[in-house]
Structure 1
Amino acid sequence: MDVLELLSSLVSFETVNDPARGIRPSRDCPAFIRDTLASWGIESELIERDGYYAVYGEIGEGKPKLLFMAHFDVVPVNREEWETDPFKLTVKGDRAYGRGSADDKGNVASIMLALKELSKEKLDGKVLFAFTGDEEIGGRMAMHIAERLAQEGKLPEYMVNADGIGMKPIIRRRKGFGVTVRVPSEKTMVKGTIKREIFRIRTPVLETRHAAYFLPGVDTHPLIAASHFLRSREAFAVSLEGKFLKGNVVPGEVTLTYVVPGEGEEVEVDVGLTRLLKAVVPFVRAPIKAEKYSDYGVSITPNLYSIKDGKHILKFDVRAMSRLKDEIEQAMREVAEFNLPKAEIEVATNEKAGYLFTHPEEKIVRVTLEVLEELGEKAEPVEGPGAADSRFFTPYGVKAIDFGPRGGNIHGPNEYVEIDSLRKMPALYAELARRLVRE
């Protein structure tokens, strides 16, 4: 089976994870992965926890040396923004379009085919593998697998977390935090004229909607733009609407309905919403300190807005090379004290997760670069913007990298993987495993 053919089958499963709308991947895709591996003589088990699934298995004999991990769940789609069916792999030139083609089903297909080849060989150590279905909402299944391997004394020396793009070993990745800000709605009447302004995302260099890839000074975040717009005028917000999808997905556009006081009719405005929106600019500049260096520093993006039970709710995605939840909460509360004294601040993160920080001279990095060069790829180790499931294994001392084929539009419309890059992946993963399991 060709990697593109296998990827096409995987993309056809609508494995969207969207807890806000009660949507999660079904059993169908992981069952397909397990059954396909079984047809090649590779045994694996289907793990279920809280309605989410994973596929786990082992090949080879002896000491566990390497773990391959990838995820089959995907983020929601706004079909209006797609030029093709997001759940039907569509080939145009050297690109294959579809939700999950780059993040992360291209990697799932590549590892599966690498395992098919490796299962025919005598390996000097065990190669473990896992395909999870909840990476996009926090990765608790990966955490469970890490804990289970630790308890059984089966933690591997190395890990290839196949969740990246660019054909470069990713050796650093920040940890993610979710910050929720709630403020009460405060309605009042103001004389003036109702106006509307639409703010759209702009990513002139790297087209993506992934919050971790958003680069202030280059990209335009529609909600930050709306905040700056409101702060620069004597105006009151009436309502806020937008194409909000997920906490780590930058909305494509937001529409601000507002009133500038003056001549006109009496209009109901919301002082609470006005204050919240004006506070967005200072929130995204909160003085958060990191534990280690990052190319991307600290990023804070407001991506999900709603109103419930009389309260406006705004969720921020925070990325930092840090595990210090308390310091992040303190920084956000400091901003709130000056701008939103009535706000409730809640910071969520997985306390058991760390961040990825692997030295470039580690064997797994050096071997990856050697194999890449033999396949005609020149690469250097880099930092990846987003968090990944390797963060559950690094606290145990597992030496890890994240990796993936070239592609683009991660978490955005018209996501794609480059086919020439994808075709190299099964051979790359197989050879990487051969060299890392050697004593």
Structure 2
Amino acid sequence: MSALAQPPHPRRQAAIDHLEALIGFDTTSAYSNRALIDHMQAYFAQLGMETVVLFDETGEKANLIASAGPHDVSGIVLSGHTDVVPANPRAWRSDPFCLTQREARLYGRGTCDMKGFAACVMAAAPELLSGELTYPLYFCFSHDEEVGCLGAPAIARHLASIETPPGLAIIGEPSEMHVVNGQKGKIAMRVTVHGEGGHSSFAPQHVNAVEYAARIIAMVGERERRYEREGPFDGDFTVPHATTLATIIEGGVATNITPDHCSFVFELRSIDQNAAQADMQALIDEIESALLPSMQTLSPQARIEWQEQFSYPAMGDATETPLFKAIEPILPSRAGKVSYGSEGGVFEVVGNIPSIILGPGSIQQAHKPDEFIEIEQIDRCLAFFDDLARWTKGASV
């Protein structure tokens, strides 16, 4: 093993052991996460924490909230998601659901996004919970973040309903242990163009759904270029303006048939949680105004169908809030704002809980074959939790 940047943290091996167990649960979003939630609930309950499990309507997916500390003080949330994106074993050098160490890296699906954070919470929990807490702690782990932050709203609503809601959520997405104080929101939209088909030799008499879908995609792309030219801008983001992007398309049945339907998905990533829906509606109105008249001249039944797949809000800047100010002396340096999504905006909008992102690992490794986390990042996360443990007990750090 190559030399690491700092001496091993005393709980490093405990974190690796927890990570090995968590990686062994295949919690790809298409599958249930119940077994992993049961595993984590049993562990935190054994440490004396109060636990609440919130199921989705199917009963196959669940969120976990484990809490400790006083009920009349506003506390800290440590939040992570339990689901992972799919992993094709043929694209990996090792089994994606078996933790593998090569030199100073730990490989496996979810190591950085974001079971590495969960493993650090589990390893640090005995120290975080030791002694008398002056601030409560809430360990929250959700389902289905990767497919639209579907589980987090239930957690946010639950926390908002308690006697004294938390004052700050730390979202453990991979940020290389730097504080992120803003993230974009996202709307994913499925568009289905319903045209009129027929033999392709009569194409001018038909409404070619693929052609009109292409025109819509071109207008989506033009909206992206307008954002790039006109803003609004926020230079703290890695991409300093809103973006639009078509990501999936399907349509047509044969080379000699004018296609009567075409479906595609595009996204809008916004820097302003208050403007996203209005921007999306303005884009829809612009497209329909430009294209529907010519479509319906040929076929009155032709139409464009819009179906929101999911959305999550942008996360605002929590750095001026009281609990952030109180905890700021123990926080690492800031890294600005990010264009990827997290559950931070959900906690902020649904639960009125200001949020930041702070977690081990690099987002550059997420969603890729041979996903990994540097062991040094595990050590840095555990060191932060040491400071947090002292802070929650009122000790100087």
Fold shared, TM-score > 0.5 on shorter chain: yes
Taking a change above 3 Å as real, the CA distance of residues 327 and 124 of structure 1, as seen in their structure-2 partners, is: same
Kindly indicate whether the alpha-carbon contact (under 8 Å) linking 1:64 and 1:127 is maintained by their aligned counterparts in 2.
Answer: no
- The structural deviation recorded for 1:283 is 1.1
Structure-2 separation of matches of 1:435 and 1:423: 19
Kindly state the Cα deviation for residue 109 of structure 1 after the two structures are TM-superposed: 0.9
Alpha-carbon shift at residue 307 of structure 1 (Å): 5.0
Q: Which residue of 2 is the match for residue 432 of structure 1? A: 388
Amino acid in the other structure paired with 1:399:
P
- From 56, 66, 71, the equivalent of 1:57 is 66
User: Structure 1 residues 154, 362: CA separation in 2 closer, same or farther (over 3 Å shift)?
Assistant: closer
What amino acid does structure 2 have at the position aligned with 1:168? H
CA distance in 2, matches of 1:363, 1:419: 33
Q: Among residues 397, 404, 415, which one is paired with 2:359 in the alignment?
A: 404
Aligned partner of 2:314 in structure 1 is 355
Question: Quick one: structure 1 residues 423 and 363, their matched pair in 2 at CA, closer, same or farther if it must change by over 3 Å?
Answer: farther
Q: Match for residue 127 of structure 1? A: 137
Contact 2:183 2:337 in 1 (8 A): yes
Instruction: Determine what percentage of the aligned residue pairs are the same residue.
Output: 20
Equivalent pair of 1:68/1:127 in contact (CA under 8 Å): yes
Contact 2:318 2:355 in 1 (8 A): no
What one-letter code is carried by the residue in structure 1 that aligns with 2:247?
N
> Match of 1:346?
307
Match of 2:147 in 1: 137
Quote the offset at 1:30 in angstroms: 0.6
Give the helix-richer structure, 1 or 2.
2
| Pair 1:147–1:366, CA change in 2 (3 A) | closer
Distance 1:136 1:122 in 2: 36
* Alignment check: 8 A CA contact 1:102 1:410 kept: yes
Matched, 1:329 2:336: no
Aligned equivalents of 1:124, 1:386: Cα separation in 2: 34
Distance 1:362 1:343 in 2: 44
Match of 1:264 in 2: none
SS of corresponding position for 2:181: strand
Which stretch of the first structure deviates more once superposed, 384-393 or 167-176? Answer: 384-393
Unaligned residue ranges in structure 1 (runs of 5+)? 18-22, 191-235, 237-268, 374-378
2:24 paired with 1:12:
yes
The verdict on how the C-alpha distance between 1:430 and 1:56 changes in structure 2, with shifts beyond 3 A counting, is farther
Change (3 A) 1:438 1:384: farther
Q: Which residue of 2 aligns with 1:317?
A: 267
Partner of residue 200, structure 2: 189
Cα contact 2:136–2:392 (8 A) shared by 1:
no
| Count of residues in correspondence between the two structures | 351
Counterpart Cα distance in 1 of 2:109 and 2:31? 15
Matches within 5 A, 1:195-234: none
Q: In the superposition, relative to structure 1, how do residues 105 and 271 fare at CA in structure 2: closer, same or farther (>3 Å)?
A: same
Amino acid of the structure 1 residue aligned with 2:100: T
Query: Relative to total residues, which structure has the larger strand share, 1 or 2?
Result: 1
Counterpart CA distance in 1 for 2:274 and 2:18 is 37
**Counterpart residue number, 2:340:** 386
**Rounded Cα–Cα distance in structure 1 between residues aligned with 2:174 and 2:221:** 26
Amino acid at match of 1:356: M
Distance in 1, matches of 2:336 and 2:46, equals: 37
* Residue matched to 1:146: 156
2:200 partner letter: M
Q: Confirm or deny: 8 A CA contact 2:112 2:372 kept in the other structure.
A: yes
Structure 1 residue matching 2:337: 3-state secondary structure: strand
RMSD: 3.2
Match of 1:45, SS? strand
Q: Is the partner of 1:35 in helix, strand or coil?
A: helix
